[in-house]
A = this chain, B = another copy of it.
Amino acid sequence: MVARRVLKYAILGLLRKDDKSGYDMTSDFKQAIGQFWSAKHSQIYTELKKLLEEELISSYIELSGEKLEKKMYTLTEKGKEDLHTWLLTQDDHLETEKDVFALRLYFLKDIPSADLLALFENQLNLRTDKLNMLQEQFAYYFGEENPAEDLDADELGHYFVLTKALSREENYIHWLMESMDIIRQRQLGE
């Protein structure tokens, strides 16, 4: 069984502290949590409508300025319960972590060896940019030091997500560089 209705719980989770609009959630998915789940505004608005019908959230209108309406959503008691049940759910298996670069690489015999390093370099650039972005985020929220002891429970979730994303990217880059060395070695021997 595949993890079901993840977006539903991502949205309920985003509402656990503050009321938010669909637009706010769209922005959240561009921040830290977007490293591990994301959705476009079209999908978010559709899901919000469904969650309202299911009475897991309720809504009210807030004005920004004179006319512009923000539809704010709040967790209902039912929504809180559903979220808390889900938070304690243990996964019974791991999903395939899809990665188009690795897939392409599996077929590398059909990639001319002159083009292979260029593909790696492109991936290295993308990953390096992402790592830099994450390091900036980390420094902004937590400073340059490793502050795990001083954090409150709320910041700790953010801390874990950022350290997870950082270590993922560092590891990816490390593997890319090792693999590029292997390719260069082989090309010398050609």
Contact = CB atoms under 8 A, between A and B. Distances in A.
Contacts of A130: 94
Interface string A165-190: 10110011011001100100110010
Q: Is the interface of A mostly helix, strand, loop or mixed?
A: helix
B100 A3 contact: yes
Interface stretch (A41-49, A60-68, A155-163): A155-163
A126 B93 contact: yes
Nearest to A38: B96
Contacts of A140: none
Given A91-B123, A123-B91, A83 B101 contact: no
A33 interface: yes
Interface residues of A, number: 74
Interface string A103-134: 11111111101010011001100110010000
Contacts of A97: 35-36, 97-99, 168
A113 B113 CA distance: 52
Interface stretch (A18-26, A51-59, A146-154): A146-154
7 contacts: A34-B96, A36-B102, A89-B104, A97-B99, A148-B185, A149-B182, A171-B171
What are the 10 A-B residue pairs with the smallest beta carbon separation, nearest first? Answer: A171-B171, A36-B102, A108-B157, A13-B107, A90-B122, A38-B96, A36-B99, A109-B153, A109-B154, A148-B182
